[in-house]
Amino acid sequence: MNITVLKPGMHTLLQDAGRYGYQHSGVPVSGAMDLFSHRVANIVAGNHGDAATLEMTLQGPRLEFADDALISICGADLSPSIDAEPVPEGKAVCIRAGSVLQFGTCRAGCRAYLAINGGFDVPAVMGSRSTYETARLGGLQGRALVKGDILRAGARQTGLYPGLNQELSRARRAFAVPKWSVNQHVEKLGRVPQVVRIIPGRHWEAFAAARSLLTDSAFRIAPDSNRMGFRLDGPAVRLEKPLELLSEAVSFGTIQVPPGGKPIILMADRQTTGGYPRIAEVASVDLHLLAQLKPGDSLRFELVSLAQAQALYLMREQEMLAIREAVELHMGL
């Protein structure tokens, strides 16, 4: 099963849930910025484990499918179409051999995820297929897609969505989709300012005077933001007095503040350690909303406790199970 890259899109990368087990060697976790959409795309495409998906940012690629395939697209609305006909997100899509999937304007969010049944077939490097460009690790030769690349998919599981396959063979259309779709939180993607929940960080107390600025002001995603980190424009959040810190480990969602007072939220390609004071940590359940913000978008922070954040996390995992069960009913398994 081959897919030819006719146009690569702005920054299209193979990602999975990330490369764990090597942070003590300084190897970043990487992985999908919006893990929620990545996971839902895999569930809908009928993948059981953590298959690699294509992370497409703002401007998606143009892809030609050599064979029939079962795919799904979740996350940002990048106006996907197959042979010029709009194709809905959050649904299983049976695409006909020879068809071309392409993307148009970004209408909501920033990053969309394309999953294919069987998974994109690239070797796992240090246990993950995620692309980490700085060290040229994982993905397709450790880099973003370029024109002319051939993506391969693993063996397709037969018998999934029997109704869709029948419809594809009857109709003349380039693809077939079901009536149902999954709840993928798209309704939240266009919300301005986006509300992102945080919990106090390691140095919350050292920001005693300035920390209310974090929760009472709106911030904007600065232009020099990327998969490593989002820089925030807004009021300067300064320490009471300078802190001499030794480097320590950081997480996905750590909000650190360099001396200038301009906070940085660490994202998927973050370094494993950092030496700036950390004012707060983004609650994991809201990281997917953050990942859908683009430079210029505004956000606000809302303080919750660690216990609340973990309770929300456990609820989200229950929701994931419920989504999987609901989708499997449609799959005909």
Partner 1 sequence: MGDRALVIEFGDAADPVLSSHIAAVAQHMRASPPAGVLDIVPTYTTLAVHYDPAEVEDGDSPYEALAAQLASWLEKEPPGSTVEGRAVEIPVCYGGEFGEDLDALAIRNGLQPDAVMRLHSAARYHVHMLGFVPGFAYLGGLDPRLATPRRDSPRPKVPAGSVAIGGSHTGIFPLETPGGWHLIGRTPLRLFTPESEPPCLLNAGDTVRFVPIDAAQFASLSRGQP
C-alpha angle 180/294/228, rounded to 5°?
105
Under 8 Å between Cβ of 282 and 309: no
Q: Which is nearer to partner 1, 18 or 61 (CB)?
A: 18
Q: Which of 205, 16, 223 is nearest to 124 (CA)?
A: 16
Rounded to a whole number of angstroms, the minimum distance from the CB of residue 206 to partner 1 is: 14
Q: Which is nearer to partner 1, 21 or 332 (CB)?
A: 21
The position carrying tokens 């300064």 is 238
DSSP 158: T
Rounded to a whole number of angstroms, the minimum distance from the CB of residue 173 to partner 1 is: 40
The torsion defined by the Cα of 238, 240, 241 and 245, in degrees rounded to 10, comes to -70
Rounded to a whole number of angstroms, the minimum distance from the CB of residue 306 to partner 1 is: 6
Q: Which is nearer to partner 1, 192 or 314 (CB)?
A: 314
| Burial status of residue 223 (CB atoms within 10 A of its CB: 0-12, 13-18, 19 or more) | exposed
Q: Which is nearer to partner 1, 26 or 259 (CB)?
A: 26
Residue 129 Cα distances to 32, 52, 123, 209, angstroms: 11, 6, 7, 43
Q: Which is nearer to partner 1, 59 or 272 (CB)?
A: 272
What's 179-235 look like in SS3?
Answer: CCCCCCCHHHCCCCCEEEEEEECCCHHHHCCCHHHHHHCEEEECCCCCCCEEEEECC
Residues at the contact surface with partner 1, assessed by CB under 8 A? 20-29, 125-126, 134-135, 137, 199, 201-202, 246-254, 271-274, 278, 281-284, 306-307, 309-310, 313-314, 317
Rounded to a whole number of angstroms, the minimum distance from the CB of residue 304 to partner 1 is: 9
Rounded to a whole number of angstroms, the minimum distance from the CB of residue 50 to partner 1 is: 12
Q: Which is nearer to partner 1, 81 or 272 (CB)?
A: 272
Rounded to a whole number of angstroms, the minimum distance from the CB of residue 254 to partner 1 is: 7
Q: Which is nearer to partner 1, 150 or 249 (CB)?
A: 249
Q: Label the pairing between strands 2-7 and 62-65.
A: antiparallel
Residue 234 Cα distances to 38, 196, 214, 242, 270, angstroms: 30, 15, 9, 21, 22
Sequence letter at residue 96: R
Rounded to a whole number of angstroms, the minimum distance from the CB of residue 280 to partner 1 is: 9
The position carrying tokens 């509300």 is 195
Chain Cα centroid distance, residue 183: 16
Q: Which is nearer to partner 1, 114 or 287 (CB)?
A: 287
Rounded to a whole number of angstroms, the minimum distance from the CB of residue 313 to partner 1 is: 5
